[in-house]
Amino acid sequence: MNVLIVEDEILLAMELSFLIEEVGCVDVGHAMSSTDALAMAADLRPDLALVDVHLQDGPTGIDLARHIASDCGVVALFMTANVKRLPADFAGACGVVGKPYSEHGMKAALRYLDICLRDGRAPGLAPAGLQLAPAWAERWGLGDLPRIA
Amino acid sequence: MTTPGFLSPPTRRRAASREGEGAGREDLERALAEKTALLHEIDHRVKNNLQLVSSLLLLQARHAADPVVRQALRAAQARINAVAIVHRRLFQGEDPECFDVAAFLRDMVEDVIGGSGRTDIRVTLDLERTDLPTAQAAPLALLISELLGNAILHGFPDGREGAITVTAAREGDQLRIEIADNGVGVPTTGSTPGIGQTIVKHLCSQLHTDCQVADAGPGVRATVRLPLDGVR
């Protein structure tokens, strides 16, 4: 799948780029602010956007996720240090990976979401380190199962 | 009888005193909210910075041409990842002064075993829910990281498959944490202790415990006992 990285720490974005390629996905671009991310999402229409909640223009990641979902149908995955602060509906994003994530944890999340987005169904429970949004867990057929393994 | 709209001096004094108290309480509440926000901000910064440190090591490992160097950097990153696991859960739970050992051990096993790529090693978890003081979390994380890493590296070299069991059980006023493998066993010939063994020894002393390594026939059993000191 094509992945857009929205992260204001450039070294983290560099490492994410490697992880994305290593799981067989494509890094299509990198934005550091909501403004840039909105433009890139509309232009590139990635399958998934990795979105840090705190960006160069402030804590705008949550609103960004809502906009890219409604404006261009791009699915976001949050990356954040404070999972509890996310709204209950996850602003339309499919889930969250808590920071600091491990290499293994992020790769497992990417592989899992690649399958979910491709097949429209989850291959099983989400891997440790990935918490799915309730709406997406339901959509991918995990409705009756706990969101976190 | 007072004129409407006019407060008598005693009433005015009582009202002013209550207003002062109210203002004092408001100040305190505001100060508390600011301090809480600051704590969250610091926690957020620490987590982001740990992510940065971890990513820096991984980036450097990728650039290393020499596989020995690459391996050393990845080993260092694995140790930092153990500390990162501690912080990932900090402040997400109810009480910031203690951490859930069972949940933490599950995370460690997932990252260390999962990250090793050794799908030929089965892990069994037998974990009793216990809390330990947060101050012990990072040293314990580093200790468990070494013991799990040892089990994989020394117990199952050259793609030898097998099983590891991780146990956490309360025994009186102690918590027994055990990592047992059914691998090749303790090496019989003496070898120069690597940094891993030194780290284990020092971390055990910091945690006021020792690490007992026994022959599990076959394999190795490493046991650590930690005092519970009245925690849940």
Q: Which positions in chain B touch A99 (Cβ < 8 Å)?
A: 47-48, 51, 88
Task: Give the type of residue at A101.
Answer: Y
A29-65 pLDDT per residue, tens: 999 999 999 999 999 999 999 999 999 998 899 999 9
Model confidence band, residue B171 (pLDDT cutoffs 50, 70, 90)? very high
Q: Do B114 and A98 touch (CB under 8 A)?
A: no
Mean pLDDT of the region B4-22:
72
pLDDT of residue B189: 54
Mean pLDDT of chain B: 87
Mean pLDDT of the region B53-71:
94
Q: Does B88 touch chain A (CB under 8 A)?
A: yes
- Alpha carbons within 13 A on the beta-carbon side of B132: 27
Q: Would the pLDDT of A143 be above 90?
A: no
Mean pLDDT of the region A77-87:
91
Q: Do A100 and B56 touch (CB under 8 A)?
A: no
- Given a contact cutoff of 8 angstroms between Cβ atoms, the answer to whether B130 and B205 are in contact is no
Q: Do B48 and A101 touch (CB under 8 A)?
A: no
Mean pLDDT of the region B34-55:
91
**Smallest Cβ distance to A108: which of B40, B50, B114?**
B114
To the nearest whole percent, how much of chain B has pLDDT over 90?
55
pLDDT of residue A5: 98
pLDDT of residue B4: 60
**Smallest Cβ distance to B47: which of A15, A99, A128?**
A99
Q: Does B110 touch chain A (CB under 8 A)?
A: yes
Structural domains of chain A, with CATH: 2-139 (3.40.50.2300)
Q: Would the pLDDT of B10 be above 50?
A: yes
ipTM of the complex: 0.88
